[in-house]
Structure 1
């Protein structure tokens, strides 16, 4: 039998999804599983989006333009103006989710062997997209003890060499919930400008910021307009993960030309998804406010609850709907598997994402998990009780000295 490709062998498993078969098996045994592992919101999709889906009256479900429907891109321009992001429809390319936007950014801007600097822990699929493009991720460490703040410029410059081509950030961050400050964004801007790098900025969680301060987008950074690519998605904003609609936004015409070649090769972004996403832009302000307020309450419920459990620590996330928590365990991969395979409390257990999958540094995040607060508060409160009971029963528990 022919061998599997090196690319296929190097492709990492998803720390978010790799334990899914164990969760299915637990449910088949009659155990209720609280899914804290994946950023799948349980809040409703805007009614205007659902109505558009129900009222589709096309007789043919045709290809859409490779760049995405103009009417949708025009409405997106108005939407972004609310965040002081000023773009034209031609500067927006609609993609099959934010994932495709990241992949096409890499494919258009990077050559095999090029390096991307990424603060870690980082969204695990960035590594998969880099492998697909033949690029290399070089991580710069942040620590839970410092709330995952960016290190000083010197730490970045230690990684920069002739192969360095880009910096990638996720702001607010997945998996940590960290929100980059104006000072940190200016630090990144200065590095991009000094070394003529690309800046890939994943901003799919911009609606969920809990500091009260103005949002700093990569598109606000002056002097690097042609270096910047913004990644966006409707998945989290409207609870529309399944329609697979994202966007790649850049003022750099040459990048757009290159990206469009990949877009044409895959023909078109999802037709029905664009219809729903475009209609969802008409969601009333009350929709955004109710969703935001609910996440504020869930964040408080989860973080307060985690930090009350003996041996557990979580910094307060300032954005998105995730946190990385440190647990008193020998190995979070083993612990997460054990919770699904061997443990239950009153017929219930928890599913979390081992944080090691969000690091590339060996052994980093070994006692950490990513937790998504996408469940209603009653479920979060119950999941916290189950987690505490699991930690009390786990044979690999580590007591602090």
Structure 2
């Protein structure tokens, strides 16, 4: 290659490198939260359904999973050490409102799928568009919620004193730092807050001298039956069971208990749509097998029940079985019989050796000559 051509090629390579390094990195994911009044607030008494939209997220066409959208608490909102990509773990560094992963869950968790993903059929929050945007609805139960910590203990989070908001992470166990975010949500009394336009229209339509109309909280018809679901149909004894109920009277106290009264939870306050969510720790002494959880509304008397299967801890069961085998090995009838047979065989072998030695000695004595015997 001529010197001039070499210089041109080198300059081209440098230019490509500079362009590559100067290319802007993917923008940090951004989440926007709005309630009916257009603010990022939730009601301090009732549940609030908010619109959640994202931009700047990574969209992987045909990729596995997508994005989980939760409402919860993080221990380090500014530093970001709660993020799974930085070693953060649920139950320790962040907690969120429990809900099932089914498509028709209670609305406390949403799954936004990648476009063309094989898991898109179970998405209940739409899909991530090619430009990295998405939008969904999310229910915030109120300023407090219950969850399970790393040890399986039920804890209550008070978002009036702790940083809570909308959390996004990679779905289905896929750690994706490009889709991790936390957006703060504050709480206020929204029952008296009403858009100005609506208030003006109501006042204009009302007769002169008539009192202004007061906005009412949405309610659930008394004829609607209460329903109950759990996040897992099979749960290990001693661990926690997440549940969500719907169809109760808004604002009423709801109690939960295992049939037989072996464990209880509550009271929980039903949200604006009559929904509740919580976790119940199963006692370590609970009998394995089919169990039933019941929710009861204190004011309405409504009841909802769901069955689940309680199983023994596989690790503890295996350890107990091994310990029992080792403890019983020395007294087993089969082991005793084997030991007796081995001792009997050893006795016969030793007796045969001794008898053989005696016979050889006797034969040697008889074979001596008279002279040898006298000497």
Structure-2-length-normalised TM-score: 0.22
Q: Which has the larger radius of gyration?
A: 2
- Greater share of helix: 1
* TM-score, length of structure 1 as denominator length: 0.21
Bigger relative CO (Cα 8 Å, ≥ 6 apart): 1
